[in-house]
């Protein structure tokens, strides 16, 4: 394989640039030409493709976001869009493609795979919602960002003796809330995988207050059925304690990637080039028990992410 492409798609995540850098420089070292596709599948359809050299990816290892930009593409979801995407790749002579993104982005890679394009999928999403890999690129940085926010919110919550509901990202997977809640000492964590018992939550807040707790921190994933505004109002009404919401939103997507995210991005990027050089079938690349692994792309995406129930229960024990 002599000519490969790389794109980032869907929501951005810290570490994407490190992955791009690894793909470009490892690809060039392997004697390949590497082409960057801007704005994900949307840019592919528009032919926004340019050749990258070593200098193109200089000084980006530490930067959040993605130099290739990213977008969501409704056009690519159609049969016509996917067929056109393949024709654009063929026009540029691109034989293999590295896709850095989440579930939807990698499923787009499956569509190209079915049309004869070799695709290597890298798990670029802060949500950590891909079942085939222990961790995704950007998750560790996002949790670190949330932990920093928890520390700051705790200072003011303690001063005012109030309850604070911190909403974090995670529409279908509550890992950001779960990990940040455990490491940040939250009184409770609400995630979409487990039904929320508002009565139990309010009882816990009152029991803690009666025991002398000056404040309570509740971490809530955005995918939880009850809205943050409604939850905040209910807690305040039932406990009689001042309650405020904090929505971190896109703050979690930005920032300098952590060591873990830089390493994961770099090693999976290098593995993608290695597999393309071998003309391997399409793969999803990730990490299991600290080792870089590669699974059949379609089979990998069929794996469901399971919540760590022991970690969830431990939060309840430690916060009593």
Q: According to the annotation, is 229 in a ligand binding site?
A: no
Q: Could you tell me if 269 and 180 lie in one domain?
A: no
Domain boundary among 254, 269, 290: 254
pLDDT digits (tens, 9 = 90+) for 164-210: 999 999 999 999 999 999 999 999 999 999 999 999 999 999 999 99
Answer whether residue 149 is part of any domain.
yes
User: Quick check: 213 pLDDT over 90?
Assistant: no
Range of the domain at 230: 140-254
For 41-65, give one letter per residue: b (16+ CB within 10 A) or e: bbbbbeebbeebeeebbeebbebbb
Across 121-144, average pLDDT? 98
pLDDT digits (tens, 9 = 90+) for 77-93: 999 999 999 999 999 99
User: Quick check: 320 pLDDT over 90?
Assistant: no
Q: Could you tell me if 266 and 250 lie in one domain?
A: no
Of 212-216, 228-232, 305-309, where does mean pLDDT reach its minimum? 212-216
Q: Could you tell me if 7 and 128 lie in one domain?
A: yes
Q: What is the pTM of this model?
A: 0.96
Q: Could you tell me if 163 and 270 lie in one domain?
A: no
Q: How far is CA 55 from CA 18, 60, 94, 274, in A?
A: 14, 10, 21, 21
Q: According to the annotation, is 84 in a ligand binding site?
A: no
CATH number at residue 182: 3.40.50.460
Answer whether residue 293 is part of any domain.
yes
User: Quick check: 158 pLDDT over 90?
Assistant: no
The confidence score (pLDDT) of residue 59 equals 97
Q: Could you tell me if 170 and 184 lie in one domain?
A: yes
The confidence score (pLDDT) of residue 61 equals 97
Q: How far is CA 311 from CA 139, 169, 267, 308, in A?
A: 17, 18, 28, 5
CATH number at residue 56: 3.40.50.450
Q: Could you tell me if 183 and 71 lie in one domain?
A: no
Answer whether residue 79 is part of any domain.
yes
Active site residue 127: yes
Structure tokens at 172: 């279908």
Across 222-230, average pLDDT? 97
Q: According to the annotation, is 11 in a ligand binding site?
A: yes
Q: Out of 12, 113, 127, 261, which one is annotated catalytic?
A: 127
Answer whether residue 316 is part of any domain.
no
Q: Could you tell me if 261 and 127 lie in one domain?
A: yes
Across 61-76, average pLDDT? 96
The confidence score (pLDDT) of residue 214 equals 84
Q: Could you tell me if 7 and 126 lie in one domain?
A: yes
Q: Could you tell me if 54 and 203 lie in one domain?
A: no
Q: Could you tell me if 292 and 159 lie in one domain?
A: no
For the chain, how many structural domains are there in total? 2
Q: Could you tell me if 241 and 286 lie in one domain?
A: no
Query: How buried is 194 (Cβ within 10 angstroms: 0-12 exposed, 13-18 middle, 19+ buried)?
Result: middle
Answer whether residue 214 is part of any domain.
yes
Q: Could you tell me if 55 and 90 lie in one domain?
A: yes
User: Quick check: 274 pLDDT over 90?
Assistant: yes
Angle between helices 79-91 and 103-113 (to 10 degrees): 70
pLDDT digits (tens, 9 = 90+) for 275-312: 999 999 999 999 999 999 999 999 999 999 999 999 99
User: Quick check: 151 pLDDT over 90?
Assistant: yes
Answer whether residue 307 is part of any domain.
no
The confidence score (pLDDT) of residue 272 equals 98
Q: According to the annotation, is 80 in a ligand binding site?
A: no
3-state helix/strand/coil string of the chain: CCEEEEEECCCCCCCHHHHHHHHHHHHHHCCCEEEEECCHHHHHHCCCEEEECHHHHCCCCCCCCCCCCCCCCCHHHCHHHHHHHHHHHHHCCCCEEEEEECHHHHHHHHHHHCCCCEEEEEEECCCCCCCCCCCCECHHHHHHHHHHHHHHHHHHHHHHCCEEEEEECCCCCCHHHHHHHHHHCCCEEECCCCCCCHHHHHHHHHHHHHCCCCCEEEEEECCCCCCHHHHHHHHHHHHCCCEEEEECHHHHHCCCCCHHHHHHHHHHHHHHHHHHHCCCCCEEEEEECCEEEEEEHHHHHCCCCCCCHHHHHHHHHHCC
């Amino acid at each position: 394989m002599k000519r490969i492409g790389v794109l980032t798609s869907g929501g951005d995540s810290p570490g994407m640039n490190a992955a791009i850098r690894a793909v470009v420089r490892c690809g060039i070292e392997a004697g390949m030409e590497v082409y960057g596709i801007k704005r994900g599948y949307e840019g592919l359809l528009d032919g926004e493709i340019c050749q990258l050299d070593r200098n193109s990816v200089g000084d980006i290892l530490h930067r959040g976001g993605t130099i290739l930009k990213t977008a969501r593409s409704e056009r690519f979801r159609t049969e016509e869009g996917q067929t056109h995407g393949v024709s654009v790749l063929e026009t540029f002579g691109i034989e293999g493609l590295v896709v850095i993104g989440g579930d939807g982005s990698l499923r787009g890679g499956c569509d190209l795979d079915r049309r004869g394009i070799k695709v290597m999928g890298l798990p670029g999403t802060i949500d950590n919602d891909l079942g085939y890999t222990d961790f995704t690129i950007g998750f560790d940085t996002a949790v670190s960002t949330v932990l920093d926010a928890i520390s700051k919110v705790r200072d003011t919550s303690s001063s005012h003796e109030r309850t604070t509901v911190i909403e974090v990202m995670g529409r279908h997977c509550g890992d950001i809330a779960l990990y940040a809640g455990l490491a940040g000492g939250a009184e409770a964590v609400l995630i979409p995988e487990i039904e929320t018992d508002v009565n139990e939550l309010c009882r816990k807040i009152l029991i803690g207050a009666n025991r002398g707790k000056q404040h309570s921190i509740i971490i809530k994933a955005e995918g939880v059925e009850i809205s943050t505004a409604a939850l905040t109002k209910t807690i305040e009404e039932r406990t009689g304690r001042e309650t405020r919401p904090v929505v971190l939103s896109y703050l979690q997507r930005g920032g300098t990637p952590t060591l873990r995210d830089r390493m994961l991005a770099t090693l999976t990027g290098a593995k993608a080039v290695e597999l393309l050089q071998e003309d391997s079938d399409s793969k999803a690349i990730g990490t299991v028990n600290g080792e870089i692994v590669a699974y059949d792309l379609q089979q990998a995406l069929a794996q469901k992410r399971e919540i760590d129930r022991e970690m969830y229960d431990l939060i309840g024990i430690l916060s009593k």
